[in-house]
Chains A and B, each alone.
Chain A
Amino acid sequence: MLPDRKGKFGIFGGKFAPETLIEPLEQLEIAYKKISKTKEFKERLNYLLKEYAGRPTPLYFAENFSKFLGFKVYLKREDLVFTGAHKINNTLGQVLLAKMMGKTRIIAETGAGQHGVATATVCALLNIKCEVYMGEIDVERQKLNVYRMKLLGAKVIPVNSGSKTLKDAINEAMRDWIANFKTTHYVIGSVVGPHPYPMIVRNFQSVIGKETKKQIIEKERRLPDFLLACVGGGSNSIGLFHPFYKYKNVKFIGIEAGGTGINTDKHAATLSKGQKGVLHGSFSYILQDNYGQIKATHSISAGLDYPGVGPEHSFYKETKRAEYFAVNDQIALKGFHILSELEGIIPALESAHPIGWLIENKKKFKKSDIVVVCLSGRGDKDVMEVAKIEGEL
């Protein structure tokens, strides 16, 4: 199974990290391989996923939405997991791992604040010190999540370098880890970064796909035809896709953030418009200029606003195992509204991207098709922003 010994998915991935990080990364890989296999770890994680986070999440047959589209759509309800998004699947796993490694401090990066909140939550639960790096611009526009993290006992560290957003928060967290790895574990929030992170995060998020597989067989007595999910760094999508990897009849579709349009310079459609390169420790597709400098990105959805993507997605794209498309802000907003009206489910703007894409592309599907969409998070966090954009506030 991939990644290989060098942390590669085909040509992608690897460990493009400063020498100062090589030893901590190796220690993490060894500890992960050892600890995650123990009965103690598995039992504790399963217990917390069930009793604390509320798993398994439903695989909900969206009847009204299905009628509207003309084929069957199931929603994997990650919006119903505790803290309101799939992020906690990963933070529970990683913080528990860090505790069992004997680390006394957790650091994380966050963009919109979802991963930061999910990390701070688990750190409060497991009683471990937590510091979250967040770009200054994000601190300003996500005040509510900043306060949430403070309530949970975490320290939020504003980052004022570079573009002052997610990618700079990752840079700063990596610098912290380089200096403090003996005591500190860095909880990356997506399937990005140097090996072993893309593998570890994928494995913790695979609970999404594993549950989906069991649930769809119970309900339909067969596997789905399509799996759909949004792709920023790509953790909810890999979590859904990966357990279906060997079932070649199950098609994977990843939807990226097209921002104001992928032919403008304001989008975050890394797989659709990027080129191969190295960012944050792995070889993957990235958004860059002609000299290899990383480009600024834009999306209505903060969770997709990132110029890189997990290396396993690049591998899926290159080997044609998955297809990737982008939809712009307007189509995501359309998805946001239609799902709210038809199903009474307000999706996160991230998850509204695949919903919007399905609406726009419904003619591509047959009546007998079964489509599973990962509803990666709830939309409450975005309601204010959408109201502002639409002039309601």
Chain B
Amino acid sequence: MTEIERKFIELEKKKEKALILYFTAGFPSFEKSIEIIKKSAEKGTDLIEIGIPFSDPIADGPIIQYTSIKALENGINTDKCFKLASLLKNIINVPYLFMSYFNPIYKYGIEKFADRCVESGVSGLIIPDLPYEESFEIKKILKERNINLIYFLTPYTSQERTKKIVRKANGFIYFISIAGVTGPRESLSPETIQSLKRIKKIRKISVALGFGISNKEQIKKVKKYVDGIIIGSFFLKKIIDGKIGEFEELIVEFKKELKTY
């Protein structure tokens, strides 16, 4: 069992849903991104997703594009991301994952990348441009090291494909709530809720909902269908705007909403 799977079990016992936050490594700076991650863990974040910036993030909206380019300009690179992760080991006690596009991982060397994940306490990988069909080799390498490769699903994924992916998934499923790229949005579609119900019928697997979550009302509506929510752009925007106080309050507020007892 991985740190991530253990976390979901622990939360289930406590009748809580996971609050998963995304941060871009090296944004606004190497030191500040550590500080922000530390703060968010203290305020109740259950899992941290750390983005390794990529020059061409096709699955991300304007906010994550902006933070990625800024971080790269600040000199972040894959080795520094591992350094950042290693430092977190002694600073926070919640599991953390890496989010990276496939090319930086491939270029680094998949095995070497996986070994460094182990050393630096990274317990899962999210690769937005690596589809299920291309994932078998890397999944095997990660599995040998007790690291989860997180699969994606969308409301438009065909039923047959959904079944295939759900059966092979581990850690949790990253469910993309509406068609589109990352960024805050106002409402959730009926298709989303239907697909979420479908997944649960196939197998007992944790599902985290991402892409477009920005307020408490949304959380209230969806929490009964999922095991966690992922928020990226919405909080990054607060950081870009320098609203750190508001950022901390919102974590507390959202986490409270995710308690179901």
A residues near B (Cβ < 8 Å) are 6, 14-20, 22-24, 26, 161-162, 167-168, 171, 174-175, 178-182, 275-281, 286, 288, 290-294
Give, as a whole number of angstroms, the nearest-CB distance from B110 to chain A.
Answer: 12
Contacts of B62 in A (CB 8 A): 161
Provide the residues of chain B in CB contact with A288, threshold 8 Å. 103, 107
Question: With A and B bound together, what is the CA distance between A180 and B148 in angstroms?
Answer: 31
Task: Point out the residues of chain A lying under 8 angstroms from B129, CB to CB.
Answer: 16-18, 278, 281
Q: How far is the CB of B204 from chain A (nearest CB, A)?
A: 21
* Surface stretch bound by A, among B2-10, B155-163, B252-260: B155-163
Chain B interface extent, by class:
35 or more
Contact partners of B184 in chain A: CB under 8 A = none
Set of chain A residues within 8 Å of B107, measured between Cβ atoms: 275, 277, 288, 290-292
A24 neighbours in B (Cβ, 8 Å): 156
State A26–B158 Cα separation when bound (angstroms).
10
Q: Which residue of the partner chain, among B133, B134, B152, B181, contacts A175 with CB atoms under 8 Å?
A: B181
Task: List which B67-84 residues lie within 8 A (CB) of chain A.
Answer: 69, 72, 77-79
Contact call B56/A19, Cβ cutoff below 8 A: no
Interface string of B104-135 (1 = CB under 8 A from A): 11111000000000000000000011111110
Asked whether A23 lies within 8 Å of B55 as measured between CB atoms, the reply is no
**Pairs A–B under 8 Å by Cβ, sample size 12:** A6-B133, A14-B133, A18-B58, A19-B128, A175-B59, A178-B179, A279-B103, A280-B58, A286-B103, A291-B77, A291-B104, A293-B54
Asked whether, in the complex, the Cβ of A20 is within 8 Å of the Cβ of B54, the reply is no
Minimal Cβ-Cβ distance residue in B for A24: B156
B183-238, CB < 8 A from A: none
When the two chains form their complex, are residues B153 and A19 in contact, meaning their CB atoms are under 8 A apart?
yes
Query: Which of chain B's residues have a CB closer than 8 A to the CB of A291?
Result: 77-79, 104, 107-108
Q: A181-B179, A292-B104, A292-B107 are in contact. List 13 more A-B contacts (CB 8 A).
A: A14-B133, A16-B130, A17-B58, A17-B129, A19-B176, A20-B154, A23-B157, A162-B69, A178-B59, A179-B179, A281-B58, A286-B103, A292-B105
Q: Which of B59, B78, B179, B180 contacts A292 (CB 8 A)?
A: B78
Chain A residues closer than 8 Å to B40, beta-carbon distance: none
Residue in A26, A162, A182 whose CB lies within 8 Å of B65: A162
Listed from nearest, the 4 A-B pairs whose CB atoms lie closest are A292-B107, A19-B152, A179-B180, A292-B104
What is the minimal beta-carbon distance from B14 to any residue of chain A, in angstroms?
30
Asked whether A278 lies within 8 Å of B106 as measured between CB atoms, the reply is: yes
Considering the chains assembled together, what is the distance between the CA atoms of A138 and B39 in angstroms?
42
Q: How far is the CA of A179 from the CA of B211 in the complex (A)?
A: 12
Chain A residue numbers with a CB within 8 Å of B106 are: 276-278, 292
Q: How many angstroms from the CA of A291 to the CA of B52 in the assembled complex?
A: 11
Indicate if the CB atoms of A23 and B103 lie closer than 8 Å.
no
